[in-house]
Chains A and B, each alone.
Chain A
């Protein structure tokens, strides 16, 4: 049983390292948002589940933390990326498609 805990904890910490590396290496705000948020959400889920396997008495609180982070972390990142898009942060030169091209034109004109 302790082997499962060790494997899950090392997987979670490995995804933390991958998230930090992605937020350092990616060229753009939106790529950074995607890489950092996805990797750290999965890392938190795995690390906390490993600790919950080691101590079964802590499982209710750990499930509360897991559900809270899995719901709120993508919401916060999405709000931040939307604010960046509305404000007009520079995109990466190799961007192939931009599906939100004409959505925020009116808001930008009002703000100006």
Chain B
């Protein structure tokens, strides 16, 4: 029961940021909504580790968080330098 509530709320967040990813006016809005989606997915991987009772997913969550941060910073520097 609690899994359905948590997954429903996570799905609402993913859905609204996906709408902003599709219809964002500038490319900064798209990168920002992708950043928010990355953070939400990184929390969802830890929640899947809790459901399956498997500790291996925590390492995947760490690597995913590192790659998400790197992606945001690289896209910000690239869009700033193009100008």
> Are A and B a genuine interacting pair, yes or no?
yes
Contacts of B77 in A (CB 8 A): 79, 83
Per the CB 8 Å criterion, the residue count for chain B at the interface is 47
Instruction: Give complex CA distance A69, B31 in Å.
Output: 17
Instruction: Give complex CA distance A21, B33 in Å.
Output: 11
Q: How many A-B residue pairs have CB under 8 A?
A: 159
Instruction: Give complex CA distance A68, B59 in Å.
Output: 13
Residues of chain B touching chain A, judged by Cβ–Cβ distance below 8 Å, are 2, 5-7, 9-10, 12-17, 19-20, 25-26, 28-29, 31-33, 35-36, 39-40, 42-43, 46-47, 49-50, 55, 58-59, 61-62, 65-66, 69, 72-73, 75-77, 79-80, 83
* Apart from A19-B36, A79-B72, 15 more pairs, CB < 8 Å: A9-B6, A16-B13, A19-B13, A20-B17, A24-B16, A24-B20, A33-B32, A44-B39, A44-B42, A51-B46, A54-B50, A58-B49, A58-B58, A65-B65, A84-B26
